[in-house]
Each structure stands twice: as structure tokens, then as C-alpha cells.
Structure 1
């Protein structure tokens, strides 16, 4: 029987040699970076890496080791690229991000668009962010809001992007890709849904309830107690409240924010409907300019990746290597490409920072495509 201590000593000696060889390889990689700085060559040479891995795999006849060698050298090459990106950044070769840092966004004198109608949570988010005296107008859909800022009818749009209970607003994520508009701010609003009806109506009178699908989802436990009610989805909570007022039918009720009840003069039949009492929605402020402020502290990006093993890990390692804290990742399916996805990532940082530029340069070179959605 082999002696365990001797075996471990053998592994320790091999590991020491691996570390020495890794450091030698990285030193040569730094010299390669110097050559690329002088010649303007790209860091990633995908053809060269693929050829190299094929050659390395042929050095063993063991299938298990062949797979291990492929994974090992993919990571070694990834670390080599990250070192080269860092050295380029230290030499001032960071590339242009096409975003301009500004002192003043112009929030004080802005014209703002929101989706829905008066009394909507989007209006409340807008007034919290810009102030109650802001010049504003509302449109029917989130797409209409994106068109309004793209065409200059409004300076900014306020859109919901994520609810703490119901999750992301997938259509807004897709619109951020479709339109050439950018995030410059965010506002989190506490969601406090209530059941409201006409004055004089009682809970026993209600037969039909209207609300936005997410508000219905957020109130599912309460609604489950009233299985005889007809539940109808509608495009906005405030639109639901307005419908009850317009139709003057005491058997109808809406689930909306308490501010909507006040705005439309409705009677609150049941307060605090949320399944999760800490329920909140995050809204983004969007404009058609690539601008950010010096104090911006979050960056949002999206990218597509090669449909192959390890591609997402390699991309995300740019955040790790540059000591950047990733705060969120989401995926959305790619149209016309079954089971392939676009990834959305938020991370802490500012576009003027060298670590942020370094990470974004690496992602831009290694992803199929990458887009910065904003710094705010």
C-alpha cells in the first residue's frame, strides 16, 4: 500500500512546479501584451487558442484527462487575457466607451413621460425622483414611453423594471435592447396595494376585480379567499381604478395603490393586500443620451455569448478579476434562436474607473456582442 504522506508530498512538489510554470507563463503573457500595445493587435485570438487546445488534448490518450486539459488551459488562457487587458489599461489603452460624464443631467427642468394614467405607481415613482411639480405626460404602453424619449417628445421616461415579489418586467428588458435609450437613474417605490370600490360599496357587493397582472399576483392569497370573484387583468393598476370610477358599478373593484384611491375618490374596502409586506418595485429613469454623472455607482450591461461550455463563467470572471461586485444577473431568450439567451448584468462601479473599463473591454472582446445600458 502507498504511503499517504509520501503521496501528498509528491502532490505538493508537483503543485510547486505548476505555480512556478504558471508565473513564467504569465510573465511571457505580459510581454505579449507589450507587443500587442506596440502593434495594435487584439488581445483575443480565438483561432490561435482553439488550435493550441486541440494540440494539447492530443498529448494524452485518456478521455478524462483530455477533457480536464481542455478546461484547465481554457482557464489559463482566460487569466492570461485578463492580465493583458490590465496591462493595456495601465498603459492608457482602454478604448472608448462612447459615454460622456456630465455635471448636471437636467432633471430640474425636464419633461418626463410615464406609462399608465394619473394615480399610477409610475407617476408616484416619477414624482418621488423628479419632484411633484415636474412637467409630465402619460402614455398607454412602455413602448410608447421609449418612443417618446427617442423622438424627443420627452427628456426622460420612468419605467418599472423589477418587483421584489413578481420579478423582472421582461418587456422593459427587451425594450432596452431594441431602443437606443440609456438608464441614468433609478427609484425604488414601496408597493402598498389596496382593494377599492365606489363610495357606499361594501366588500360583500364585489363580483369583479380589475388590476395589473403583477398586482393580482402580489395579492394572490387575499384573492384566493374570494373564489366567487371574477378576476380580470388590465394594463395598469391606475387604469383599473379609473375604470371603476367611469363605469359606476358598485359590484366592481380595483386593486391599486392607495394614492390612486385618493386621486379618483374611491373607497378602500381592504387595505394591505400584499402577500409580501415589504413588496417594492424598482423603476429606472431612461433618456436617449449616453451620459452619466461622476457620482454614478451602478453599471448595467447586456451581452450574448457563444453557445458553448464555460462561456458565461469566462465572461463573469472579468468582474471577479477586476474586484467588481456583480449585484444582479438576468437572462432573456433570443428571438428566433431557441434555448439561446441574452444576459443582463448589473455591477457596482463608474464608467470612469480603470477596473470597470478593463472588465468591459474584456467582455466586449470575448462576447458575441455587448452593450452598456447605463451608469447611474
Structure 2
């Protein structure tokens, strides 16, 4: 045995020992999670216990990143712990998560990023179906898009918050990387048709105009549907979509990251029916309707300035003679300054609906 092999053998033995220790600790953690479920069921009586606590999970993930000393990156370690928590939570109760389908979309990617791979991910045909599935109790949570850094707010999601009595329980941001997908064996010169979602076509417009100005572009319901159609029609048909769609339909990512803005991302909201306690780093979202009169916006924003509450988004929606605003701001509904600001807002509003307070995105 060479000196190199001897040194490698020592290191591999160390890795095997560490792996055994990790395995033992993972099983100990899983048994502890089972005990948590038993304690909750013992004291909840006839009320169904709440197994998933978004604020607790956010605190655990932040602690993971704070104590991390490398060489693994903070977020990579946090992703590992996300999966550990996901599989342990599944021992307590399998989580059912509805998302805007079909499979292979960025919304499914957001669901997996937030809940891990051990949750049951349920594709829905429409945003309204996601809200309905959660409100009926068929799903514990739903994942819906709220805004894209390039294309702006998803208005339909805002409209559904007015129709359904659900709360925002969390948020997750997903970088949007778009690829030109081809059937295996196809060439870039042989493309005659490109499928994609309308937003993805808009987000890669400059790239397409330079390289394929005369090729037919067909807008479809989702990027995953675009990949399915390209795979079904075969030679000469391409799609613009992400990695999940490429893997699902066995397409090659011939050109990667064709989005016009490299920092393109989509923010998703987690919807449910539970109150989420403060995690130490939270946001609150509200819908507020005010009279459409001169100075209405100033009166709306002034309490936030007076109480030192930082806004992260303000979106306007017209509604007959009134103006409807969707507002995100820093802080939890239980914070005294937030409560004071909301009380002042109520005085000058026709209607105010607190959509929820929830942990700021960790990953």
C-alpha cells in the first residue's frame, strides 16, 4: 500500500466513524420529535394538535446559520437541517402542501424549499384551488406566488385574499433561472417553435429577440406545461423553463440562465389557518381600503413613519370609489408599535384586514 493510500485509509475510517455518530444522532432527534407529538396529543384533548410551528422552525434555522463555523456555507447547512426537520415532522404528521401546479413549476420548487421533500406536495390547477384546498382542511398549507422582481405583483393572489379567510404563515423567495430546453439530439439551429409561460417569455425577451427573433413563441399555462409540450411534439420544439421541468420531461438545458435580469426571483407566500407567534424577525401583511380622496396615500403611510415601522412593499389596487392597498412591513402584529400603527390606520380606513404576521424568509 502506497503512502497516499495509507493516509486516505485513515481519513476514510474517520469519515465512517463520523457517519455512524451522525446516524445515531439523527435517530435520537427523530425519537425526540415523536415524543413531542405524543406530548401534544396528550394535552390537546379533542382539539387537533398543531405539529408545524413556522416561528420555531425559523428560529432553529437561524440558530444553525449563526453557530456555523464552516467550511460548509451557512445556507447549505440550513438546507440540510430543513430536510432533517421535514423528515422528523413527517413522523409526527405527514404535511400536505397544495401548490399551483402542474409538477415541475417554480411554485413546487418553492414548496420543497420551504417544507422539505418529506411533505406531500399536491399540485392544483388554479390559485383559487390552492386557497380552497387549504380552507377546506384538505391541505395543511398552500404555496402561492405574490410577486416577481421583474414582472411585479401577482394581482390574482391579492384578490383571493379578499375572498378567503386564510392567513399568511410564511414566505419563501426562489431565484428564477430560465433555460432553453431541447429534446435530446436536437440542435440550437433546428428550433422552429418555443413554448413557455407568458412571464418567462417576458423575462427572457431580450435574449430571445437577439437569438431567435423570427421563431414562433407560444405562451402556455406554465413552464412545466411548456416542457411537456416540447417533449411531446419532439424534434424542433423547445421550451423555456427551469431545472425541475427539464428533469421531469427528460429535456436538455441547451442554454442556461437566459433570463434578462440575473437577479430575477419570485417571492411566494405560505397560506394556512393558524396564528403564527413572533420569531424575532418577522413581517406583517395587510389589505386596507381607504376613500379615494386627495391625500389618502399620505394619511395611510404617516402612521408607519410616526411609529418607526419600515415598509417593504406597497401595492395599489383600484376598487370603485375606494383605493385598496396591499402593504408588507417589518414587525409582528403583537409588537406594541405595530398595534399602535394599525389602530391609527383603522381610524382612516373603510376596511383593514391583517393577512398575517410570519417569519421573514430564512433561505
TM-score clears 0.5: yes
- Write the distance in 1 (CA, Å) between the matches of 2:169 and 2:148: 19
Look up the SS of the partner of 2:338 in the other structure: helix
Indicate the residue corresponding to 1:363 in structure 2: 345
Q: Is the 8 A contact 1:102 1:293 kept in 2?
A: no
- Write the distance in 1 (CA, Å) between the matches of 2:235 and 2:52: 52
Indicate the residue corresponding to 1:302 in structure 2: 287
Q: CA deviation at 1:288?
A: 2.8
Q: CA deviation at 1:249?
A: 2.1
Of 38, 50, 53, the residue aligned with 1:104 is 53
Of 154, 173, 196, the residue aligned with 2:158 is 173
Q: CA deviation at 1:350?
A: 0.9
Of 94, 97, 115, the residue aligned with 1:130 is 115
**Length-normalised TM-score, structure 1:** 0.69
Gaps of 5+ in 1: 1-100
- Write the distance in 2 (CA, Å) between the matches of 1:113 and 1:131: 13
Q: Is the 8 A contact 2:191 2:238 kept in 1?
A: yes
- Write the distance in 2 (CA, Å) between the matches of 1:184 and 1:371: 15
- Write the distance in 2 (CA, Å) between the matches of 1:250 and 1:150: 43
Q: CA deviation at 1:103?
A: 8.5
Of 203, 206, 230, the residue aligned with 2:188 is 203
Q: CA deviation at 1:220?
A: 0.4
The 5 A counterparts of 1:1-376 are: 104-105=53-54, 108=89, 109=93, 110-225=95-210, 226-245=212-231, 247-289=232-274, 291-295=275-279, 297-334=282-319, 337=320, 340-376=322-358
- Write the distance in 1 (CA, Å) between the matches of 2:230 and 2:51: 45
Look up the SS of the partner of 1:351 in the other structure: coil
User: Number of residues paired by the alignment?
Assistant: 271
**Length-normalised TM-score, structure 2:** 0.71
Q: CA deviation at 1:304?
A: 1.1
Q: Is the 8 A contact 2:292 2:323 kept in 1?
A: no
Q: CA deviation at 1:248?
A: 3.4
- Write the distance in 2 (CA, Å) between the matches of 1:104 and 1:134: 14
C-alpha spacing 1:102/1:355, structure 2 compared with 1 (3 Å): farther
- Write the distance in 2 (CA, Å) between the matches of 1:351 and 1:287: 17
Look up the SS of the partner of 1:352 in the other structure: coil
- Write the distance in 2 (CA, Å) between the matches of 1:197 and 1:177: 41
- Write the distance in 2 (CA, Å) between the matches of 1:166 and 1:145: 22
Q: Is the 8 A contact 2:167 2:273 kept in 1?
A: yes
Q: Is the 8 A contact 1:103 1:294 kept in 2?
A: no
Indicate the residue corresponding to 1:45 in structure 2: none
Q: Is the 8 A contact 1:186 1:284 kept in 2?
A: yes
Q: Is the 8 A contact 1:103 1:293 kept in 2?
A: no
Could you list the structure 1 runs, at least 4 aligned residues long, displaced by more than 6 angstroms after superposition: none
Q: CA deviation at 1:102?
A: 10
